[in-house]
Structure 1
Amino acid sequence: MPQVYNPFSTFNFSNRNCFLTGQPLTSEEEKIQVFPQWLMSSFYLQDKPFKMLDEHVSTYKDLKLPCSAAINNDYLEPLEQEVAAAFDKGYERIKALDDLKLFQWAGKLLYGIIFNEIQAGIRQQHAQGEEFSMSQAIIHKFTHLHLMLQSINLPLVFDEFKPFSLEIFKVNNAEDVFGYRDEINTLTFSLRVNDFGLIMCLQDNGANGRYHKEVLEKIAGQTLHPIQFEEVNGRFFYSNYLFNRLPEYNLLPVNDTLYLEAMPLRGISSKPLFDHWVNKTYGQVLENFWKNWGFLLLEIIKNPEQPMSYLFDAEGNFVPADKISLPV
C-alpha cells in the first residue's frame, strides 16, 4: 500500500529529507528551486527581492526545497514542462490544462514558500532558545496541502470533489509583467502574467468560487483590464480570509489506490461558511491590490455602501476593458 508522508507529525523540515516523500537524501545539495527556473528566467526573477513573513528579504533564487533527484526527474520536471509550455502559449492553453495539474503546480510553489518560512521560524526560535510553535489551525491546513501534493507521486485520488477554487481570466497585461501574490495563512495564490491571470484558493473545496458566483457569471468570457483583474483578486483574497471552516478529509485506501474524500463543509456548525463582509476591510484589501494605480482607501470607500469598482458600473453592468480610463 502506498505510504503517505506527514512532515508535520515530527516537524521535520531539515534539508536532509525529500520534502515530498521524507526519504533521506544523499546530500544537502539535492534541492530544487521553489520558483521554477523557467519562470525565473522568463521574468528575470533570480535576484529580485522576496520578502519573508519575518520581514527579512531573500531573493527568488534563494528559495529552495530539498528534493530527491528521482522524485524531481520522474514527477516534478514533467509537471513543470507541461505547465511551462502552457504558460508560453498563454490564456487558451492554460485554460485547457488539467486544473488538477495547475493545483499541484501552484501547491508545490506555495508549499515551497511555507517550507522556507518554517525553516526560518525554527532557526529564529532556536537562536532565542525557544521551541518553535504554530497554531493548530495552520498546521491542519498545511498538513492537508502537503497530503494533497502527494497526488503528484502517489496514486492519490480526489474522490468526487476538488479541494480548490480556481479562476482563470484573459487579461490585457503589459509585456513582462509578473504579478505574483500569496497569502499562506489562507492558502490563496494568484499570478498575473502574459495574457492571463489566475486565482486559486487551495483549501476551500470550491467554496470561494461558489461565493462569487454572481460576479463570475457577469464577467465570464470577458477580457479584463489589469485593474479589473486585481479587483477580482481582492474579492477572492478577502473572501478566503472570511471563510471560516477548516475542511476535513478522510483517506481511504482501496487496493493500491488512496481515495481522499471531503467531509461536508457545513459540518456541525450552523453559522454561515463565510463571516460577514465588511466594505471598509474590503476597501483596505483593494487599496493594497490597486497600489500600482495609487488609489487611497478614502476614495475607494467614499460611498461605504458601494465601494469603488472598475468591474461594474453603478447599475451593476460589466464595464468593458477598453472603456476604462484611469487617472494619470
Structure 2
Amino acid sequence: MSLQLFNPFKDLIFDEQFCFLTGDLTTEKISVFPDWLMDHFKFGGDRIEMMDKAKSYHYEDLKLPCSPRVKKAFEQLDEKIQEAYQKGFEGMASLDENLLFLWTGRIVYGHLYYEMRYERDRLLRQRENFNLSSSLRERFGNFHLMMQSIIEPVSFIGKKPWSIAVFPLKYSADIFSYRNDAINLLFQFGVNGFGFIACLQDNGIIGEKQKDILDKMKGHVLHPVQFEELYARFHYSDYLLQYRSEYKIENNDQGITMEAIPILQVANRPTFGFWDEDIFAQLLSNYWSVYGIQREDIIKFQKPPLSYLENPYSKDFIDPESIDLPF
C-alpha cells in the first residue's frame, strides 16, 4: 500500500484552516520567518512585497497554518539552526544539508504560499478562475513533497535535488542580507560570519556549473560585493537552465524515495543557454546598486566585464581584503 500525502497544488488548496504541509484541519500557525531571526535583526515590522508590487505584508504577519506535529518539527529545526548560527560559519557548515534545505525551504515556501493566496484572491475579486500550468503544479508539488520529509518517510537517493553553498562572509554586525525567488525556488542569506546560497530544485546542476569559483573561494572570507556577484551567477545560471528537474518517485508502504533523473541532452540544446554578458551585467547592477555600481561600470568598451570574484585576465580569485568597498 502506497503512502498518501497531501499535495496542495493538485486542487490548489491554500486556505488558512488547512495545515500547509499535511492538509489537516488546524488553528495553529508558525511564522514564515523564524521568530528568533526577526527578533535578532529587528525586521519583523518591515514590509515585504509580493511579486506584482501591489501588495505587501509585514514580515511578522506572514504565518503558515500548521498541525501541531508540523509546528513541533519546525520549532525543533529552528533550535538546531539557531544553535549552529551562534557558532558562525563553522556551525552552519557542519549542518546536514537536509536541515539547511528544510529551514530555507520553509521560508521560500511560505513566500510562495502567500503569492498563491494573493493571486487566487485577486482573481476571485475579478470573478476569474485561479489556475497554474501543469509544469508549475509539478515543480511546486515536488518541492512540497521534499518539504514533507521533515515529518514523513520521504527520502532522497543519489544526487541531492538542490545546490547549497555555505561560506565565510564579512558583514557589519548589524546587517542581515536576504533574498528569495519563490517561483524559481532560489534563496540567499548573509550575515556577519557566514552566507549561503540555495537553489532548492536544480538537482545540483547549478552548483556543478559554479564549482570552479566555489573551489577558488575556499579559505577566503568573502566581501559582501563578492557575495552579491556569486548569487547573481547562481541566479542567471538558473535563468539559462534549459531543462527542468525531473525525479523518479517510488511510493510504497515503507515510504517515498525521490531520485534525480540525469539530464538527457537533445542535439543542439546544451544544458545551459548562451551566457550574455550584457544581460548578466544588468542583473548584477541590480545587486550592486548599493555600491553605486551601474551597468555601464560593469560593461565597458574593449574591456572585460567587471568582476570582484575573478581577475578577468588570470582568472585568479580576488583577495577580499584587497577590495576597497564598505561592508
TM-score bracket relative to the smaller structure: over 0.9
Alignment-derived partner of residue 130 in structure 2: 132
Alignment-mate amino acid for residue 285 of structure 2:
E
Distance 1:269 1:13, change over 3 A: farther
* Cα offsets for 1:168-209 (capped at 9, x unmatched): 110111111111011122211110113111001011110001
Aligned to 2:6: 5
| 1:253, distance to aligned residue in structure 2 (A) | 2.6
1:191 to 165, 189, 192: 189
Distance in 2 between residues matched to 1:123 and 1:59, nearest whole Å: 19
Partner of 2:84: 86
User: How far does the alpha carbon of each residue in 1:54-93 deviate from its partner, in whole angstroms, 9 at most, with x for none?
Assistant: 21221101111111122211x1111111011111211000
Could you tell me which residue of structure 1 aligns to residue 288 of structure 2? 290
How many equivalent residue pairs?
324
Structure 1 residues 176 and 128: CA distance shift in structure 2, 3 A: same
Question: Do 1:280 and 1:304's aligned partners in 2 also have CA atoms closer than 8 Å?
Answer: no
RMSD between aligned alpha carbons? 1.7
Shift of 1:266: 2.2
SS in 1 for 2:57: strand
> Residue 231 of structure 1 aligns to a residue in which SS?
helix
Question: Does 2:15 align with 1:14?
Answer: yes
**Are 2:108 and 2:181, in contact at CA under 8 Å, matched by a contact in 1?**
no
CA distance in 2, matches of 1:196, 1:84: 13
Do 1:279 and 1:304's aligned partners in 2 also have CA atoms closer than 8 Å? Answer: no
Q: TM-score, normalised by structure 1?
A: 0.94
Alpha-carbon distance between aligned partners in 2 of 1:187 and 1:312, rounded to the nearest angstrom: 27
Which runs of structure 2 are paired with 1:101-250 in the superposition (5 Å)? 101-250=99-248
- 1:198 and 1:185 map into 2 onto residues whose CA distance is 19
Residue 38 of structure 2 corresponds to residue 40 of structure 1: yes
Q: Quick one: which amino acid aligns to residue 57 of structure 1?
A: S
Partner of 2:262: 264
Which deviates more, 314-323 or 287-296? 314-323
Q: Quote the offset at 1:38 in angstroms.
A: 0.8
Change (3 A) 1:282 1:15: same
CA distance in structure 2 between the partners assigned to 1:58 and 1:327 by the alignment: 30
Once the two structures are superposed, the pairs formed by residues 312-323 of structure 1 within 5 Å of their partners are 312-313=310-311, 314-323=313-322
Partner of 2:75: 77
For 1:223, what is the secondary structure of its paired residue?
A: coil
The answer to whether the Cα contact below 8 Å between 2:265 and 2:271 also exists between their aligned partners in 1 is no
Three-state SS of the structure 2 residue aligned to 1:224 is coil
Q: Are the structure 2 counterparts of residues 305 and 18 from structure 1 closer, same or farther at C-alpha, using a change threshold of 3 Å? A: farther
SS in 2 for 1:150: helix
Contact 2:46 2:58 in 1 (8 A): yes
- Mark the runs of 5 or more structure 2 residues left unpaired by the alignment: none
In 2, Cα distance between equivalents of 1:194 and 1:57: 27
Q: Greater CA deviation, 204-213 or 134-143? A: 134-143
User: Percent identity, aligned pairs only?
Assistant: 37
Deviations 1:145-186 (A, max 9, x none): 101001111111101120001111101111111110111222
TM-score, L = length of structure 2: 0.94
The superposition leaves residues 231-275 of structure 1 with CA deviations (integer Å, 9 ceiling, x where unpaired) of 111111111111122211122134422211222222667611111
Which residue matches 2:60? Answer: 61
Taking the aligned partners of 1:183 and 1:90, their CA distance within structure 2 comes to 25
SS at match of 1:144: helix
* Structure 1: 5+ residue stretches without partners: none
Change (3 A) 1:249 1:327: closer
Structure 1 residues 21 and 268, CA, compared in 2 at 3 Å: closer, same or farther? farther
Q: Verify the 8 A CA contact 1:64 1:116 in the aligned structure 2.
A: no
